[in-house]
């Protein structure tokens, strides 16, 4: 009867061990494997004990039982700590293992020393072997070891239940039940059931619970399950290389994406001839880890690919073995739909931007035409300055062009465009001048001239109102300055504010030369046109008093073009 009991438990332990082997996953902790193995070893010892006929056989069987029991407690404790995500210092784990090893060393001394058993006798009672023993001091230390392992494991379980939210409650319950059953088995076996040992029954129950735990752990280990899902999914390719850029292996998806992988031998160092693109990725990543993503296009004959291509993102990272960097891994993920969407979006944005630019350009042209029309309307009121805004605009363009050619005075392209565009607006303020003054055929009296002077500040005000809501703030400022300050003089004797030197904005200083030059060489109702030589003499002599002397070289280089222009329009 006793032998049958132990034999059944041994067979169950073997069945559970086989089930575990078929369930085994590469990510299972080694402690689980040791638990299933040691339980079978311990149950084998009980079977051997039940069939022993001599004291020698009985002692040998006892030593096998203790082989499982001594180390089983250690690995169960480690398993619980791992599952509960509790770190135990390496030196503590090593010390406890040595403690277990020493205890089993004492077990092996049974029959030779009195360390573990002081005395031992063997008999057969009702067909069942009975090994009577008197315990030595090492057995007491063995029990102490058992208590230490039990306390560490039980405290870890209780702590995890209350503090560890990421440890599944179902797993905690399944860890706790075998301990309760083991304690009950020990005390019941010592006080109620004395003919058989209930401890192996507790082992089998624990083994059954650990089968369930092992199955559940695969689901809870997100890192591993995600990786396995990606590998099995079929859409993601993986290629591994060691630190010397030697090919380690790849999955089937990667080989379909990069057929060249089928030509590589494992441990072969990749070169540009066989896998130049991959070699380029690795070289770039090793040189700068920020360069970890690359696009790879595969021309496809698949009818589902409308454009006849598949676009992959090759992502590079380090290949880790535990915490050590052992090489590099390339992950290939299909990004075709995203790339096509981005391409479509880019085309849409480009078309939209072109349409916006076209509309904006149309609005700008309307705006410019409105300003020019307003300037022309103002000029039509002044019968003494016909064509003045057009001629001064050309004059400003010629002067600005010479300044840009010279290169000493740094003017941005935007500034040059804006001053040429603003030139026609310099006399807009004349819209506020009374007709009696503006259309007077002769020279102004001092009182009339004072009224005429107001057109500068008034022009700046009008432009400010017109351009108040424009987005082009630099143009608005230049247009206001041209209108406001083009009658200021370098020596400070001009109007309306009496500015001098570089306090006068550069755009107004350029406008002043073009404005005065046109007034000199153009015919007015109150005067004839002046010769180019006489006009040049007046402009040149005014450098440093009326005009900015730094502009003189540009005026001189512009003079031939100015004269050619005025000759062409028969001023």
Cβ-contact 67, 104 below 8 angstroms: yes
CB atoms within 10 A of CB 7: 15
202 and 273 share a domain?
no
CB atoms within 10 A of CB 486: 26
Query: What CATH number has the domain bearing residue 140?
Result: 1.20.1070
CB atoms within 10 A of CB 533: 8
Cβ-contact 76, 121 below 8 angstroms: no
165 in a structural domain: yes
H helix count then E strand count, the chain = 19, 7
354 in a structural domain: no
What backbone torsions phi and psi does residue 154 show, to the nearest 5 degrees?
Answer: -65, -40
195 in a structural domain: yes
Query: What CATH number has the domain bearing residue 528?
Result: 1.10.3210.10
462 in a structural domain: yes
361 in a structural domain: no
Predicted pLDDT of residue 366? 64
403 and 448 share a domain?
yes
Range of the domain at 562: 368-568
d(CA 156, CA 86): 8
Structure tokens at 508: 């107004």
Predicted pLDDT of residue 477? 92
Stated length of the chain: 571
Q: Which residues pair with 124 in a beta bridge?
A: 129
Angle between the N-to-C axes of helices 388-406 and 506-521, in degrees from 0 to 180, rounded to the nearest 10: 130
Cβ-based neighbours of 472, under 8 Å, separated by 6 or more: none
Region for 96 from its dihedrals, namely left if φ exceeds 0, alpha if ψ lies in -120 to 50, beta otherwise: alpha
Which helix (H) or strand (E) segment holds residue 326: the answer is strand 324-334
Which of 334, 355, 380 is the endpoint of a domain? 334
Query: What CATH number has the domain bearing residue 260?
Result: 3.30.450.20
3-state secondary structure of 559: helix
443 and 555 share a domain?
yes
Place of tokens 């315990």: 135
Cβ-based neighbours of 481, under 8 Å, separated by 6 or more: 460, 505, 507, 508
Cβ-contact 237, 250 below 8 angstroms: yes
Predicted pLDDT of residue 552? 92
Domain count, the chain: 3
Cβ-contact 106, 115 below 8 angstroms: yes
Cβ-contact 131, 57 below 8 angstroms: no
547 in a structural domain: yes
185 in a structural domain: yes
Predicted pLDDT of residue 513? 94
330 and 372 share a domain?
no
138 and 37 share a domain?
yes
454 in a structural domain: yes
Predicted pLDDT of residue 306? 47
Cβ-based neighbours of 543, under 8 Å, separated by 6 or more: 549, 551, 552, 555
d(CA 514, CA 423): 9
241 and 198 share a domain?
no
pTM of the model: 0.46
Query: What are the residue ranges of helices labelled H in 84-136?
Result: 90-108
What backbone torsions phi and psi does residue 118 show, to the nearest 5 degrees?
Answer: -70, -40
State CA 29 to chain mean position distance: 33
Alpha-carbon distances, residue 258 vs 5, 246, 266, 315 (angstroms): 60, 16, 15, 14
170 and 246 share a domain?
no
CB atoms within 10 A of CB 411: 16
521: nearest Cα among 372, 391, 352: 391
Cβ-based neighbours of 400, under 8 Å, separated by 6 or more: 411, 416, 419, 420, 510
Predicted pLDDT of residue 371? 66
158 and 42 share a domain?
yes
394: nearest Cα among 365, 373, 423: 423
Low-confidence ranges of the chain (pLDDT < 50): 219-223, 225-226, 303, 306, 383-385
d(CA 515, CA 7): 119
Which of 171, 197, 220 is the endpoint of a domain? 220
Could you say which DSSP state residue 115 is in?
Answer: S
Cβ-contact 65, 232 below 8 angstroms: no
Which helix (H) or strand (E) segment holds residue 198: the answer is none
252 and 192 share a domain?
no
264 and 383 share a domain?
no
Angle at 12 between CA 58 and CA 172, to 5 degrees: 110
310 and 215 share a domain?
no
Predicted pLDDT of residue 220? 47
Q: CA 168, 171, 176, 181: dihedral to nearest 10 degrees?
A: 160
241 and 207 share a domain?
no
Parallel, antiparallel or unpaired: strands 117-125 and 236-242: unpaired
Alpha-carbon distances, residue 421 vs 178, 228, 365, 457, 484 (angstroms): 91, 67, 11, 19, 16
């Amino acid at each position: 009867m006793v032998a049958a009991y132990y034999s059944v438990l041994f067979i169950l332990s073997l069945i559970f061990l086989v089930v575990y082997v078929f369930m085994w996953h590469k990510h299972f902790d080694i402690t689980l494997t040791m638990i299933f193995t040691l339980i079978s070893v311990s149950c084998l010892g009980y079977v051997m004990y039940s069939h022993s006929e001599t004291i020698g056989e009985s002692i040998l069987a006892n030593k096998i039982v203790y082989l499982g029991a001594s180390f089983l407690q250690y690995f169960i404790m480690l398993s619980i700590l791992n599952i509960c995500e509790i770190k135990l210092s390496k030196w503590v784990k090593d010390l406890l293992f040595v403690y277990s090893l020493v205890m089993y060393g004492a077990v092996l001394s049974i029959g030779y020393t009195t360390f573990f058993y002081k005395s031992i006798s063997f008999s057969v009672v009702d067909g069942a072997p009975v090994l009577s023993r008197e315990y030595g001091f090492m057995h007491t230390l063995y029990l102490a070891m058992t208590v230490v392992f039990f306390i560490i494991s039980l405290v870890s379980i209780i702590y995890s239940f209350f503090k560890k939210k990421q440890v599944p409650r179902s797993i905690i319950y399944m860890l706790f039940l075998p301990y309760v059953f083991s304690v009950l088995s020990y005390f019941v076996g010592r006080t109620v059931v004395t003919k058989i040992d209930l401890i192996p029954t507790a082992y089998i129950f624990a083994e059954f619970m650990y089968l369930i735990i092992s199955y559940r752990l695969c689901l809870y280990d997100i890192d591993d399950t995600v990786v396995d899902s990606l590998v099995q999914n079929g859409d993601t390719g993986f290629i591994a290389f060691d630190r010397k850029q030697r090919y380690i292996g790849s999955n089937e998806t990667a080989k379909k994406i990069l057929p060249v992988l089928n030509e590589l031998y494992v441990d072969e160092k990749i070169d540009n001839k066989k896998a130049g693109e991959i070699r380029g990725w690795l070289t770039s990543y090793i040189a700068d880890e920020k360069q970890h993503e690359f696009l790879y296009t595969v021309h496809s004959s698949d009818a589902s690919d409308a454009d006849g291509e598949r676009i992959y993102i090759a992502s590079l990272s380090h290949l880790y073995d535990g915490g050590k960097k052992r090489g590099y891994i390339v992950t290939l993920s299909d990004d075709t739909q995203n790339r096509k969407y981005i391409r479509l979006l880019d085309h849409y944005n480009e078309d939209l931007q072109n349409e916006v630019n076209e509309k904006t350009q149309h609005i700008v042209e309307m705006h410019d035409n409105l300003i020019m029309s307003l300037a022309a309307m103002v000029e039509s009121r002044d019968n003494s300055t016909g064509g003045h805004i057009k001629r001064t605009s050309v004059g400003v363009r010629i002067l600005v062009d010479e300044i840009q050619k010279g290169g000493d005075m740094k003017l941005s392209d935007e500034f040059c465009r804006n001053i040429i565009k603003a030139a026609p607006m310099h006399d807009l303020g004349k819209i506020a001048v009374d007709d009696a003054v503006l259309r007077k055929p002769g020279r102004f009296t001092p009182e009339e001239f004072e009224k005429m002077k107001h057109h500068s500040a008034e022009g700046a005000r009008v432009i400010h109102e017109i351009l108040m809501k424009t987005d082009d703030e630099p143009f608005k400022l230049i247009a206001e300055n041209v209108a406001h300050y083009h009658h200021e003089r370098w020596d400070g004797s001009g109007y309306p504010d009496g500015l001098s030197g570089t306090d006068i904005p550069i755009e107004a200083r350029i406008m002043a030369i073009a404005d005065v030059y046109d007034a000199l060489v153009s015919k007015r109702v109150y005067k004839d046109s002046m010769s180019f030589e006489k006009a040049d003499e007046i402009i040149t002599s005014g450098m440093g008093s009326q005009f900015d002397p730094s502009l003189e070289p540009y005026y001189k280089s512009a003079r031939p073009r100015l004269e050619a222009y005025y000759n062409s329009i028969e001023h």
